[in-house]
Amino acid sequence: MARGYTLSRLKRADEHMWDAQPEGFSNTVRWNAGHIYESAEDFLSRAMNDYPVAKAEWAEFFSSGTSPSSWPGIPPAEEELIAALKDQGKRISQLTEEQLAYRLDPPLSIGKLITMETVDEVLQFLTWHEGMHAGLIDGLMKVNK
């Protein structure tokens, strides 16, 4: 559901919206889309030893703490980001109940408030995280009309 919402927003984004960074926003539509993708790859690879990370080279563009103003080169194109998000969604939907129930040792933590003990809990966090960034994408699109 979250991925469908994200993709619907991205498909509606005009070309000029992808890299516009209005005052009050710390990133762009392109960065938020890439960050959703990269965060899922990062967290799932840390939670599952056998998760096949795709597009590892995108971390330098989209990891937490990065910004379009400090990108090391040309970021992925809109079509490439959308295709990667679609593919990632398919890969995630193929996880089995056994994989989702896998207990992490040690658990993954974000600060002191969030501790994830299973792959399912990691996916719950990633869904919330994606929804938050999809909301930012929506806001950026409204401001950049």
The total domain count for the chain is: 1
User: Tens of pLDDT along 100-131?
Assistant: 999 999 999 998 889 999 999 999 999 999 99
Q: Which amino acid is at 108?
A: L
pTM of this prediction?
0.96
Query: What is the maximum alpha-carbon separation in the chain?
Result: 46
Q: What is the CATH number for 108?
A: 1.20.120.450
Q: Which helix (H) or strand (E) holds 108?
A: strand 103-110
Report the distance separating Cα 7 and Cα 12, nearest Å.
9
Give the model's pLDDT for residue 45.
Answer: 96
Tell me: the pLDDT tens digits for 5-18?
999 999 999 999 99
Q: What is the pLDDT of residues 54-92, one digit of tens each?
A: 999 999 999 999 999 999 999 999 999 999 999 999 999
DSSP state for residue 94 in the 8-state scheme:
T
Give CA separation, 20 vs 5, 30, 126, 142, in Å: 21, 9, 25, 12
Of the chain, the end-to-end C-alpha distance in Å amounts to 25
Range of the domain at 98: 2-143
Q: Any idea which residue has 């938050």 for tokens?
A: 132
